[in-house]
Each structure stands twice: as C-alpha cells, then as structure tokens.
Amino acid sequence: MKARKQNGAFFCGRPSNTGAKTYAPRIKPGVAVDLRFPEYPGRAFAARLVRSANALDPTVRTLLVELEADNAKGEIFPGGYTDVHFRLPASTRVARVAANTLLFRAEGPRIATVGPDRRVVLHEITLGRDFGTTIEVPTGLAPGEEVILNPPASLETGMLVRTRKDDKVPLHGATA
C-alpha cells in the first residue's frame, strides 16, 4: 500500500483480490475503512474511501482505491504497508451454505438442491465471502431449498435421487 500525505493521509493501493469481483460494486466513496498496520498491533485507524478506479485490473483482478485517514499525530508514514478492511453494508439477500455443498464446474460454481419430486436441480450461483466452513451465496438460491451436502461430481439436473435426512439441509439465512 503506497501512501502520500496531504491534509491527513491518503492511501492508494490494491486490496487483496480475494472476492474483489464480488465486492467491487459495493466499494463506493464514503465507505468506512479500518487500516491495520503491523507497527500498531491490535489497533485500527479509521479511514474512508475517497474514490476507486471503478474497474477491476484484468490481469490481477484487483480494484485500485484511494482512502483518507486522519493523520494529525503523524503516526502513519508514507510508503507504509497496511491491511485494509472495508466496512461494507450488508447485502440485501445473502444465503450462507456449508462449503461442502459446492460443485465446481467448467461453466462456474453450482449448488445442487432436491425438489419435492426428488429430482436434482443444479443452481448457477454467485460466490460471496468465504468463511472457511461456510460461504455466502448472494444469488442463485431461494429460502427453504434443500441443499445437497457432499454432492458427487457426476450429479446432473433432473437426476432422480434417494435422500437421507442427514444428507440434505434446509437453506437458512436468505431473506426476501
């Protein structure tokens, strides 16, 4: 993260590309940001997003941003490294599913559900934040759908399946 001083501190840099495509539309001027510097463990400096490039760099899938922080005490030095944490507003509709429900296909990520007729439906989804054992799915699923845990790679839409109660779980967390 590169920094230059001007009426406080401005920071220009490239956030981690983890989820850049997913979060880019929500990274807008005025968004609150926490800056965490290795020199100040356990401490966060408040900042705000001033502007972004409004385009992802196609080679590294990152978003160039400019942040502003109060540096009246001169604690933040230009050219320093910082971890940037955007305090993004919550999505209006986000489901959270177990990581072991995902199917990775050439055409993109999918989640398999079981309909009332015991037939499989593969849903094209958008991946959101990854929490390790669970993942946000902003689009592609509806509340109450029965998601298949540990689906085999050979699973296809329309297949008739026999289920066990332990192998399917209702989708929670999505709101209309």
Ordered per-residue pLDDT tens for the chain, 176 residues:
333 334 444 444 444 444 555 677 778 899 999 999 999 999 999 999 999 888 877 887 778 888 899 999 999 887 788 888 888 776 566 788 999 999 999 999 999 999 888 899 999 999 988 888 999 898 899 888 889 999 999 999 999 988 776 455 555 554 43
Can you tell me whether residue 44 is helix, strand or coil?
coil
Lookup: tokens for 175: 């709101």
For domain 2-87, say whether CATH 3.40.718.10 is its number: no
Q: Where does CATH 2.40.420.20 sit in the chain?
A: 95-170
pTM over cut 0.85:
no
What 162-169 contacts at long range (C-beta under 8 Å, 24+ apart), as own/partner pairs, is: 162/118, 163/114, 163/118, 168/114, 169/98
Number of residues that this document lists for the chain: 176
Question: What is the CATH code of the structural domain delimited by 95-170?
Answer: 2.40.420.20
Kindly report, as residue ranges, where domains of CATH 2.40.30.170 are found in the chain. Answer: 2-87
